[in-house]
Structure 1
């Protein structure tokens, strides 16, 4: 018997990195949870009083967010055609376990003054532990730091390297603010 989406959301807790830094996001303005999957971070942010736009290309994954107070869910393909979020601005942006380099500049340009970026995903070396293993989807050492600096963001915290939890992986994470 397989678990329902609601059971899965309860089983997979928010990333400790996101939970640690999400309270730095301004109380006003909308927060973007990009490539949100089933919405574990959108739910966390909404529970903390944020208005959240949860975006993913998988309609089945975001279906469980329908009717959740504080969350607007949209099915968008972030990797094909025009940037579907062009012209929008967010007081916070959360991205976990997702990397599409061609859109990183577009993504960071949407962060409003005072807005907070929380980004955490896999990096080179992860191929030793499983997927993703394609270098196109693995950050280079220091890459999030470089991208954030190039976008004019001020770093709050940065980590990279091996993690044992929730499963062995190589990861990189940044929290940064647009002054």
Structure 2
């Protein structure tokens, strides 16, 4: 997969706010799946740590630190005291990780989070409330961070919540072009 096609497969929300992650800052791709966001940030010159339960090395771009970890199995947080300038989470929700995500976000770090929300049952999977954000839940979890952008609603094919938040006062000027 070429650089352009890899970046095109990344979420439009993540592409939109990726420029806010400080240049050269380390990025955590949490529950990375096939690594589409890992590739995006590697192409942008960031060191990337990609974590998932079933990591397939060949699907991730060369250069990412890959960690296979069961994030839901009760094992200790695999990153210890490490901090990241950017954390990306898409299509994944395990509520007990919110505290670890907040602790892992560096000062002035950027959190980009996008996943399914209550109401998605009308469109298909996931349907289980354990895997669907409650109304306003991402805002609650990001209390104390500077909210750059937030959306909660239907896309016509799913119900999702999205947030971009900064661990600090936030960027002076934010005008990233919508990536939709």
Q: TM-score, normalised by structure 1?
A: 0.86
Which residue in 2 is equivalent to 1:46? 42
Query: Of 17, 23, 37, which residue of structure 1 is paired with 2:33?
Result: 37
Query: Of 63, 74, 94, which residue of structure 1 is paired with 2:58?
Result: 63
- Tell me: CA distance 1:46–1:11, structure 2 relative to 1, closer, same or farther (3 Å): closer
Query: Of 18, 23, 40, which residue of structure 1 is paired with 2:19?
Result: 23
Which residue in 2 is equivalent to 1:156? 148
User: Residue 170 in 1 paired to residue 164 in 2?
Assistant: no
- Tell me: CA distance 1:11–1:88, structure 2 relative to 1, closer, same or farther (3 Å): closer
5+ residue gaps in structure 2? 169-180
5+ residue gaps in structure 1? 1-5
RMSD: 1.8
What is the aligned residue count? 165
Which residue in 2 is equivalent to 1:82? 76
Instruction: Give the C-alpha shift of residue 103 in structure 1.
Output: 1.2
| Runs of 4+ displaced beyond 3 Å | 9-12
More divergent stretch after superposition (31-40 vs 50-59): 50-59
Instruction: Give the C-alpha shift of residue 12 in structure 1.
Output: 7.3
1:96-175 equivalent positions in 2, closer than 5 A: 96-149=90-143, 152-164=144-156, 168-175=157-164
Q: TM-score, normalised by structure 2?
A: 0.86
